[in-house]
Amino acid sequence: MPAWLRRLSATGRLAFPMTVTDAGGGMLLVKRRGRDEFEARFLCQVWFYEFDGARDDHVSDRFARAFAQDRGSEVRSVRTDEHAEDAACWLHGDGWCLSRREIHVAE
């Protein structure tokens, strides 16, 4: 996913279904808001058939627990900077993080 974010244009958007095995998930909308800043919100619940072997079971389990808590309502951004997991991390992964941190866009 970080490679997809790097390829977004300055005004680029990415709609990405994040699901878990046999439990659905949410459609994540990511908008580039700066060189390395990405605003993110879950739009709605979704259910997709998965590709065999395409799911990381460890991330899937952690996502299922996080999504069960609040359906992603606290997610505000995607982080690709290297950082330690902290209270702002909604779901922390290897090279990426769904974060509660707001992105402030200069108007």
Residue 43 burial (CB count, 10 A)? 11
Whether 76 contacts 101, CB under 8 Å: yes
Q: Could you list the residue range(s) of the whole structural domain that residue 38 is in?
A: 2-99
Does the structure show a pLDDT above 90 at 98?
Answer: yes
**pLDDT value of position 1:** 66
CA distance 20 to 38: 23
Judge whether 47 lies within some domain: yes
Judge whether 67 lies within some domain: yes
How much of the chain, in percent, has pLDDT values that exceed 90?
40
Judge whether 104 lies within some domain: no
User: What pTM, to 2 d.p., does this model score?
Assistant: 0.71
Judge whether 17 lies within some domain: yes
Buried residues in 73-101 as b, exposed as e (16+ CB within 10 A)? eebbbbbbeeeeeeebbbbbbeebbbbeb
Judge whether 18 lies within some domain: yes
User: How many domains is the chain built from?
Assistant: 1
Judge whether 55 lies within some domain: yes
Does the structure show a pLDDT above 70 at 54?
Answer: no
